[in-house]
Amino acid sequence: MTPHPRRIFLTQLMASGASLAASPGFAQTPDYPSRPLRIVVPFAPGGGGDVLGRLFAQKFSESMKQPVIVENKPGASSVIASDFVAKSAPDGYTLLLNVPLLVQTMSLYSKLPYDALADLTPVTDLAISPQWLAVSTAKVKATTFKAYVEEARRNPQDYNYASIGPGSSGHLLGYALNEANGLGMTHVPYKGSAPAMMALMSGEIAAVFLDFVTLKPQLAVGKVRLLAVTGSQRSPLTPDVPTLAELGYPGFEAAAWAALFVPARTPPEVMARLESEIRKVLAQPDVQARVRELGYEPGGMPHAQFVAQVRTDAARWGALIKKAGVKLD
């Protein structure tokens, strides 16, 4: 007996569905995530990036209904961690938390084992933070940025600036400040923010560009003074501190970010789920309060907008690094 046409259609439809479900990239998507995720952090435990990663991992675990493990892989200006994630399976289970150092290393090193723009895909930012220009109250009399520039011009030998290392954002921002004002401040690199802060408090160096998390404890006791901040608008954390842009210095508008990345070729459905859940977590009032308490502003930029931001930052930092002639190899 000849099968009914409706039965033939249903049989073909079921076969087609089975074939689609067996195809690569489809079978694993409906039940994602079905096992623990991990966030790889390129910094040692206890630092600002690590604290932010652990805060987010806890909330992200609740949202994804799976354990989220933070794995620290510090070293080589974040290259070790970035390389590890770039070469991980593109399945949405391994994420990288990084900062603009990710794109700065593209110009700081002659060769990297990965392409930061091609082998890693931005998801969205978790937090943003400008950098504050802080001066030592033990060394600098100026209470305004204008007065500081005038003092530095009169006595260039007494004015230097610290950074957490060659090629860091603080180093490059100080270089740009020199260029913009015709100053001759000497760059003094330190191995991290702690020794740089010790030098600032003692008056060993005059100034530094750093995040508010690091500077806040010393502001309270009068060891440092804030003269200006990067970014396109004043920070709510320090509403009385002017931006460099409003002081007449364009080029300092971009703020630093801490963001999540995944290996390239991660399925679009997984990317969409990650972005959606991350933004839900960042919208929680207690998360926003804790992020601000740490000294940051909550992120959550739409994916396409953040991809454009990363590429813009790569070009901007690359041009500045080339001009400064900084190389780490």
How far apart (Å, rounded) are the C-alpha atoms in residues 54 and 72? 11
Mean pLDDT of the chain: 89
Task: Say which CATH architecture domain 37-128+256-324 belongs to.
Answer: 3-Layer(aba) Sandwich (3.40)
Strands lying side by side in the sheet with 186-189: 186-189, 160-163, 207-210, 132-136, 224-229
132-229 CATH: 3.40.190.10
> Helices marked H in 114-225 — which ranges?
145-154, 169-181, 193-202, 212-220
Distances (CA, A) of 266 to 75, 88, 196, 276: 26, 10, 39, 15
Do β-strands 120-129 and 207-210 pair in parallel, antiparallel, or remain unpaired? unpaired
**Average pLDDT over every residue of 268-282:** 97
**Average pLDDT over every residue of 130-153:** 96
Residue ranges of domains in the chain:
37-128+256-324, 132-229
pLDDT at 30: 67
pLDDT at 95: 98
**Average pLDDT over every residue of 318-324:** 93
Under DSSP, is residue 121 helix (H, G, I), strand (E, B) or coil?
A: strand
How far apart (Å, rounded) are the C-alpha atoms in residues 156 and 207? 13
pLDDT tens string 279-288: 999 999 999 9
**Average pLDDT over every residue of 39-48:** 88
pLDDT at 29: 57
How far apart (Å, rounded) are the C-alpha atoms in residues 96 and 74? 12
Q: Do domains 37-128+256-324 and 132-229 have the same CATH topology?
A: yes
Helix crossing, 285-294 with 268-282: angle to 10°? 80
**Average pLDDT over every residue of 298-319:** 95
pLDDT at 293: 87
How far apart (Å, rounded) are the C-alpha atoms in residues 267 and 89? 11
Neighbour tally for 38: CB within 10 Å? 17
pLDDT at 194: 86
3-class SS string, 51-111? HHHHHHHHHHHHHHCCCEEEEECCCHHHHHHHHHHHCCCCCCCEEEEECCHHHHHHHHCCC
pLDDT tens string 52-99: 999 999 999 999 999 999 999 998 889 999 999 999 999 999 999 999
Q: Distance from CA of residue 28 to its chain's centroid?
A: 30
pLDDT above 60 (res 22): no
Rounded to two decimals, what is the model's pTM? 0.82
pLDDT tens string 63-72: 999 999 999 9
